[in-house]
Structure 1
Amino acid sequence: MERLSVGSGSSSLDDATAAGADAARAALAALGGVEPGLVIVYASIRYDFDALLAAVRGVTGEVPLVGASSSGQFTDGDYLPPGSAVSVMVLGAGVYRFGAAAVTGIGADVAGAGRELARRAMDAAGGDTTPHSALMILADGMAGDMQSLLAGMYRVTGARIPVVGGAAADDRTFSGPYVFFGDRAMRDAAVAVWIGSDRPLRVVSRHGWQPQTLPMLVTKVDGVVVEEIDGRPATDVFHEAVAKDTAARSELFANAIEGWHTGHSFGLIEPDGTQLIRAGVLGEDGRLRTFVPLPEYCAVQIVSAAQDDLLKAGEEVVDEALRGIADPAVLLVFSCVARSDLLGDRAAEESALLHKVSGQVATFGYYTYGEFARSTGVAGYHNATLTAIAL
């Protein structure tokens, strides 16, 4: 199979027009004259997106463009912290068949939006005619249950199509994220890219979180509110697992971002024994919430993460994503902003490590508010996890 041509660029210029054009020119120049097939843009919400996207398309032309607002980005080992930059990647045409699509108003019917998005992306790629395919999704994760978005997609594609991607972010401001499609920046929306391929496409995810309790049953939920675990108040169970004394319990809230103690989460136990991470939010009202509802009577453990374990998970993702693939060109990566929060002043180590382990393969990604990753298993929407696909 012919090797994909890729080019990337980034800019931290303050002016949106100048930054967009600067990053796009660098990406297109690195493509080496190959016809572009897809443009991916990740950007801080500090930019005027109308001006930014117009500037990018002024360089790349009418090539399909998708993207998302971020909470930091990384390109070829360089870490771009939240609020700082725009990154552009251009993928060459001809090796893969790309079909880009968008849907708006997803919050009104998340599953229905997933069905429509999958249909549109498949149609944009000319139908499901290649031997292998994958879907890359970028979505406003604040608009609804992203697991339902995936469920809607699988009503159209079937379970054989692997999915990768991330929920758009907003530099931790919680003012609302955006997704990009062509020259438009949209909220309450999702975009997808159908990737048609002559060879199998593999989606990989790892998190590095370790269990701190024995398995427990979630015995009562109300939407995203976890009310009981093992028949006891869920907040009490969570506190006991995280903090053993009053001082530690105070630290639980002192370290929180919008009530989320990123050092401890739920590990939802999958049928194969792996854990799907679900972040826990302790609100001022004393209730324990998750970003995605936990199924009633599911088995969970309280998990925590050490910095070295998080970085080791990155190595494992690269190793598995590239294993057995002849001459890969790029690793498209999606990492949760919770990971960069946990890594703290070591946050730049993740992007540097990913690129070092990837060798001659380009790396490109952003920090998300949730990750899409599913090849097998029941669920496909994650928190505090690193996901990737190699092309």
Structure 2
Amino acid sequence: MGVRALSSNSAISGVGTGNGTDSRLAAETAIEEAFRPLAGREPDLVLVYASVRYDLETVLKAVTAAAGPSAVVAGATTSGQLEGGRLIEPGDGIAVLALAGGGYRFGLGHATGLQADATRAGRALARAALGAAGPVRSPHEAVLLFSDGLAGDQQELLNGIHKVTGFQIPVVGGAAADDRRLAETFVFAGDRVLRDAAVAVWIGSDRPLRVAGGHGWQPTSLPLMLSGVEGQIVKELGGRPAREVFWENFRPRGGVDTKLYKKAGGYHSEHAFGLIQPDGSLLIRGAFIDSDGNLRTFSPMPPYSAVQVVSCEPDDLLEIGEEVVERVARGGEQEPSVVLVFDCVARLDILGERGHEEARRLQRAAHGAPTFGYYTYGEFARTTGVAGYHNATIAALAL
């Protein structure tokens, strides 16, 4: 599928939110607030983030009707949203961004079948979005990606995209969430609600597109070899039982609470794995003890790769979030009209009540541009190389 939008040179953006139990009313409230700054101008790009509690088809019909036939409409379900310095708690809320102008070229594509073959879906997705953007290539390009957060191997999805884009074109975005239920997540393409799918917006620009990511986690163990891996289950670390090694390096604040780590999704975990990259950096992979007592990760890790157990403090997460947003907000030739943020729900769970502080600090770091984002089940921030799917990380793009 492909939809194309080509904007003019002056960028205008608006963001809006709606809540309550009535899906149509919540959507219309968010739409009215987001479209108001455009003063009657038709948007080129509309992003929609929503709790799974809403009738999503009703929400998207309202959005696409307001956006008009030429707008690219995309988005995902969430575990909370960020809008202009406010945190919208998981379980409630619809957030809408409307963007017009700025000289951007947008192309929308989607692909299904992530579970069966994520690499193939990634290739199809990138080709559809690129084709929809049109035959004229822009000097600067990026891919904005939304995926079903509970479907398939997210890194393999990126690998498929990489086969089309090459390493020069950055990818940024988030895996859809469902208010921590871990039942079903959805992505949006126009007025369509999709699962086992991914949606991409190809962005072309005359100016550089600023993408950044960061995590704030620090190693608490020596490097360890993944000597036994079966899909998402880690069997052995350095030839020893993985769970035994993990607990040796685990230093939770206030003592071990094993009930937390049997909880589906591993929320509230203060520890994870850092997958050691060739340049020495760490790619964060969330880890938890599942109901069968297995040490499990959210996405498969390559056998015989090197990892470290990592940990973090709330202050570390707050500081890195500010750094990431400031990097994209201040790194260009002109002030952005909006900063898109993709923030892991695991970070929110670690921050607790300080999540509201994070929302304010991210907005302050944007230097006047509105922040707009959601809490994800994984983040995409690929600026070099192939790897670029993260857990417990924050990613940002300035437009």
Same fold? TM cut 0.5: yes
What does the per-residue CA deviation read over 1:84-105, in whole Å, with 9 as the maximum and x for residues that have no partner?
1000001114521011111122
The offset of 1:383, in angstroms, is: 0.2
Q: In structure 2, what residue type is equivalent to 1:37?
A: D
Identity of aligned pairs, percent?
51
SS of equivalent to 1:36: coil
Residue segments in structure 1 that go unaligned for 5+ positions in a row:
none
- Correspondence for 2:301 among 294, 297, 300: 294
**How high is the TM-score relative to the length of structure 1?**
0.96
SS of equivalent to 1:106: coil
Distance in 2 (alpha carbons) for counterparts of 1:58 and 1:169: 25
Distance in 2 (alpha carbons) for counterparts of 1:324 and 1:49: 36
- Correspondence for 1:92 among 94, 100, 104: 100
- Correspondence for 1:193 among 191, 201, 223: 201
Q: Measured at CA, do residues 285 and 92 of structure 1 come closer, stay the same or move farther in structure 2, by a change above 3 Å? A: same
Distance in 2 (alpha carbons) for counterparts of 1:29 and 1:323: 26
2:246 aligned with 1:238 = yes
SS of equivalent to 1:71: coil
The offset of 1:211, in angstroms, is: 1.1
Instruction: Verify the 8 A CA contact 2:10 2:102 in the aligned structure 1.
Output: no
Q: Measured at CA, do residues 222 and 40 of structure 1 come closer, stay the same or move farther in structure 2, by a change above 3 Å? A: same
Distance in 2 (alpha carbons) for counterparts of 1:14 and 1:390: 32
Q: 53-62 or 120-129: which moved more?
A: 53-62
CA RMSD between the two structures: 1.7
2:60 aligned with 1:53 = yes
What does the per-residue CA deviation read over 1:104-137, in whole Å, with 9 as the maximum and x for residues that have no partner?
2222211111001000000111036111100000
2:365 aligned with 1:357 = yes
Instruction: Verify the 8 A CA contact 1:256 1:262 in the aligned structure 2.
Output: no
What residue in structure 1 maps to residue 13 of structure 2?
A: 6
Residues 23-38 of structure 1: pairs in structure 2 closer than 5 A = 23-38=30-45
Instruction: Verify the 8 A CA contact 2:51 2:78 in the aligned structure 1.
Output: yes
**How high is the TM-score relative to the length of structure 2?**
0.94
- Correspondence for 1:220 among 210, 214, 228: 228
Q: In structure 2, what residue type is equivalent to 1:49?
A: L
Residues 78-227 of structure 1: pairs in structure 2 closer than 5 A = 78-93=86-101, 95-127=103-135, 129-227=137-235
Q: In structure 1, what residue type is equivalent to 2:363?
A: H
Residues 69-84 of structure 1: pairs in structure 2 closer than 5 A = 69-84=77-92
Q: Measured at CA, do residues 297 and 51 of structure 1 come closer, stay the same or move farther in structure 2, by a change above 3 Å? A: same
Instruction: Verify the 8 A CA contact 1:43 1:69 in the aligned structure 2.
Output: yes
Distance in 1 (alpha carbons) for counterparts of 2:94 and 2:57: 13
Instruction: Verify the 8 A CA contact 2:109 2:200 in the aligned structure 1.
Output: yes
The offset of 1:378, in angstroms, is: 4.1
What residue in structure 2 maps to residue 258 of structure 1?
A: 264
Instruction: Verify the 8 A CA contact 2:172 2:397 in the aligned structure 1.
Output: yes
The offset of 1:285, in angstroms, is: 1.8
Distance in 2 (alpha carbons) for counterparts of 1:94 and 1:248: 52
Residue segments in structure 2 that go unaligned for 5+ positions in a row:
1-7
What does the per-residue CA deviation read over 1:296-344, in whole Å, with 9 as the maximum and x for residues that have no partner?
1211111111100000011110221123312211110100000100001
Residues 244-283 of structure 1: pairs in structure 2 closer than 5 A = 248-249=255-256, 251-254=257-260, 257-258=263-264, 260=266, 262-283=269-290
- Correspondence for 1:313 among 317, 320, 326: 320
SS of equivalent to 1:226: strand
What residue in structure 2 maps to residue 65 of structure 1?
A: 73
Q: In structure 2, what residue type is equivalent to 1:188?
A: D
SS of equivalent to 1:242: coil
Distance in 2 (alpha carbons) for counterparts of 1:343 and 1:276: 20
Q: Measured at CA, do residues 244 and 21 of structure 1 come closer, stay the same or move farther in structure 2, by a change above 3 Å? A: closer
SS of equivalent to 1:34: coil
Instruction: Verify the 8 A CA contact 2:210 2:331 in the aligned structure 1.
Output: no
Distance in 2 (alpha carbons) for counterparts of 1:295 and 1:41: 34
Q: 117-126 or 217-226: which moved more?
A: 217-226
Distance in 2 (alpha carbons) for counterparts of 1:208 and 1:65: 32
